[in-house]
Structure 1
């Protein structure tokens, strides 16, 4: 098995010891992204769940692009919400806007008791490289 550990220029710096993405046999596992607006992990987050969701999705797109992929290659997503009941509807509205209807990845969304650096949301992806056997 050929494994590639991706660190992507322009993506937010890791908040812990991890790669932005790990690829094996065409499968690309994208580490959960936080709503950092730049690359430094001490930058403030945008206000509110809609803005944080949008920023997380933009950060995920940066990582995917660094791997030569896009949202159309995403097969599965996991969403972690700090304030599940309060943020679920607004998060869904923003999240849905990034995917074409009928082409949305499988997804799990869970409420959590805490996220790194006080974020309200984190999302990770599993993608598949086109043409992978």
Structure 2
């Protein structure tokens, strides 16, 4: 059984997808971009963008009754790998070192709305 997870505390889906799907105790979160759900506007600058993406992910996790401790996998897309260190420090600040998920970070040529970062996650109900 699949349950659609949706919260107004994260940006609404802007295409034919859901914010997240919960299936068999596993939460699959769609890639989040730095869109502020309160204003509907993008934030700019890799530091602010990373914080906004993590807040969006946190809101979706919370709606599903989970937290970053439940995240088992993250995928990070950066437009510029020179932003890695800044992004990595901010990303780590949201996580518990005892519960770091598996992760890959890749540089891509373009992201939706021409943002600098997009992150998707997979979490598990323990």
Structure-1-length-normalised TM-score: 0.89
Indicate conservation of the 8 Å contact 1:13/1:39, yes or no. Answer: no
Instruction: Compute the RMSD of aligned alpha carbons.
Output: 1.3
Do structure 1's residue 57 and structure 2's residue 51 form an aligned pair? no
Match of 2:26 in 1: 27
Counterpart of 2:99 in 1: which secondary structure?
Answer: coil
Q: Does 2:15 match 1:16?
A: yes
- How far apart are the structure 2 equivalents of 1:47 and 1:35? 8
How far apart in 1 are the matches of 2:47 and 2:85? Answer: 10
3-state secondary structure, aligned to 1:23: strand
* Mapping 1:79-90, distance limit 5 Å: 79-84=76-81, 86-90=82-86
The 4+ residue runs of structure 1 with deviation greater than 4 A are none
Q: What is the match of residue 73 of structure 1?
A: 70
> Where does structure 2 lack aligned partners over 5 or more consecutive residues?
none
Distance 2:13 2:19 in 1: 7
Task: Return the offset for 1:46.
Answer: 2.2
Count of residues in Structure 1 that have an aligned counterpart in Structure 2: 126
1:128 maps to 124
**What's the TM-score once normalised by structure 2's chain length?**
0.93
Match of 1:91 in 2: 87
Q: Say if 1:34 and 1:122, in contact at 8 Å, map to a contact too.
A: yes
